Amino acid sequence: MTVLSTLAPVPSDEIFALNRAYATDDNPQKVSLGVGVYRTDDGKPWPLPVVCEAEQRLLAEDSPFRHEYTAIEGDMAFLELARDLMFGFSSKDTSEELQNTKGRIGSVQTVAGTGANHLGALFLATQMKPKRVWLSNPSWANHLTIWELAGVPRKTYPYYNATTRSLDFTGMMATLEEEAEEGDAILLHACAHNPTGLDPNKEQWKEIADLCERKKLFPFFDSAYQGFASGSADEDAWAVRYFLNEKPNMEMCVAQSFSKNFGLYGQRVGAFHYVLPNGDQKLRDIVVNNLCHLIRGEYSMGPTGGCNIVKKVLTNDELTAQWHEDLKIMSSRIKSMRKALYEELVRLQTPGSWKHIVEQNGMFSYTGLTPSQVYALKDKYHVYLLKSGRASISGLSKKNVTYVAQAIDDIVRNVN
Ligand code: LMR
Atom of ligand 1 nearest to the CA of 36: 3
- Check which CATH number belongs to the domain holding 152 and give it: 3.40.640.10
pTM exceeding the 0.95 threshold for the entire prediction: yes
Atom of ligand 1 nearest to the CA of 142: 9
Atom of ligand 1 nearest to the CA of 259: 5
Beta bridge partners of 218: 185
pLDDT, residue 285, reads: 97
pLDDT, residue 312, reads: 98
**99 and 23: one domain?**
no
Is 326 within the bounds of a domain?
no
Pocket of ligand 1 (CB under 6 A): 15, 35-36, 140, 142, 194
**367 and 305: one domain?**
no
Catalytic: which of 46, 134, 140, 147? 140
**272 and 155: one domain?**
yes
371 burial via Cβ count (<10 Å: 0-12, 13-18, 19+): exposed
Determine which residue's CA is closest to atom 5 belonging to ligand 1: 36
Establish whether 210 is a catalytic residue: no
Q: Count of domains in the chain?
A: 2
What distance in Å separates the CA atoms of residue 117 and residue 97, rounded to the nearest whole number? 29
Give Cα separations from 61 to 58, 96, 312 (angstroms).
5, 36, 11
Q: Give residue 74's domain range.
A: 69-315
pLDDT along the chain (416 residues), means of 10: 95 94 96 96 96 98 95 98 97 94 98 98 96 97 97 98 94 98 98 97 98 98 96 97 97 98 98 97 97 98 97 98 98 97 98 95 95 97 97 97 98 96
pLDDT, residue 91, reads: 86
Establish whether 222 is a catalytic residue: yes
**386 CA → ligand 1 middle, Å:** 11
Residue 39's nearest CA partner among 333, 380, 390, 356 is 333
**311 CA → ligand 1 middle, Å:** 24
Is 284 within the bounds of a domain?
yes
Establish whether 92 is a catalytic residue: no
Catalytic: which of 260, 311, 312, 378? 260
